[in-house]
Structure 1
């Protein structure tokens, strides 16, 4: 189990094949635990896509539960198996009109929502909590509960100055670190 704190997440550095120095130990731990797909073992500091987060979520779920996800749900704009699996579990719901926007940049509030639903799907629901960030009012109504739960569980912290930046992008390394934190809670 890693020792971590949900402290402010430093600003991402230019995209590269190595994680930022602050994230490297936990990224390496997550890779060693087998919860990071090969495709996400580079470009750590770039914004993650919605489909990439699904790939990470599938790897985490199947590793923790020891079972392959057989449920599927589809969207009209992607045939990505990982997206279908996460939709089948109800972890992702899409963006409306039967679409998912797989290549869209993952936002921080979307990540929090997916993490909370994933924890529940794995049988480890996160505790109730109310987000205490200064920019709490800018969190979308559909994400308020999830951000509070992710904060209360220590999965996600702010970005500094007691802000969450809900519509800000979420990097690959941030995604990996929060997946590791959820892994450690299970």
Structure 2
């Protein structure tokens, strides 16, 4: 599963369309997923790997998927009980319970916690495995959970 594939799945599931504006991501121009990425970017539901790159052909990790799906939840205003108390020192108060939570990137820790608290991610034998690639079955489960939570299913 790539970043582009998940972006397209999200954009199509939410029936998002892109304007005719130029995309800030120079690496998506002319690609099959250009309009889907642009639509998500315009909706504030996606960011690139930097200001000018989306890296759509890169394999998607579990923590990258959590970040992307968390942005969908945030934009739909569905945080409610998913709000996670975070201490300023990033101690794991009310954060993920996974045994390998220390391996989750700082920018992804809250996203993973929200998805875990909602039952959208459950891990494997007590581990989240943040750098592992996602299978289609795993992303289908995660996306279905987010769509249900946001009322889009």
State the TM-score, normalizing by the size of structure 1.
Answer: 0.66
Do the aligned residues in 2 keep the contact of 1:56 with 1:176 (CA within 8 Å)?
no
Q: Which runs of 5+ in 1 are unaligned?
A: 1-47, 63-67
Which consecutive aligned stretches of 4+ in structure 1 deviate over 3 angstroms post-superposition? 68-73
Residue 111, structure 1, aligned to residue 76, structure 2: no
Residue 78, structure 1, aligned to residue 28, structure 2: yes
Counterpart CA distance in 2 for 1:96 and 1:57 is 20
Counterpart CA distance in 1 for 2:110 and 2:77 is 18
Task: Indicate the residue corresponding to 2:10 in structure 1.
Answer: 57
Counterpart CA distance in 2 for 1:113 and 1:51 is 14
Counterpart CA distance in 2 for 1:54 and 1:179 is 11
Q: Residues 92-107 of structure 1 correspond to what in structure 2 (within 5 A)? A: 92-107=46-61
Do the aligned residues in 1 keep the contact of 2:61 with 2:132 (CA within 8 Å)?
yes
Counterpart CA distance in 2 for 1:167 and 1:142 is 14
Q: Which runs of 5+ in 2 are unaligned?
A: 85-94
Do the aligned residues in 2 keep the contact of 1:60 with 1:179 (CA within 8 Å)?
no
Greater Cα shift, 122-131 or 95-104: 122-131
Task: Indicate the residue corresponding to 1:178 in structure 2.
Answer: 142
Task: Indicate the residue corresponding to 2:109 in structure 1.
Answer: 144
SS at match of 1:116: helix
Task: Give the alignment's Cα RMSD to 1 decimal.
Answer: 1.7
The structure showing larger relative contact order (alpha-carbon pairs under 8 Å, at least 6 residues apart) is 1
What is the CA-CA distance between 1:97 and the residue it aligns to?
A: 4.7
Task: Indicate the residue corresponding to 1:165 in structure 2.
Answer: 129
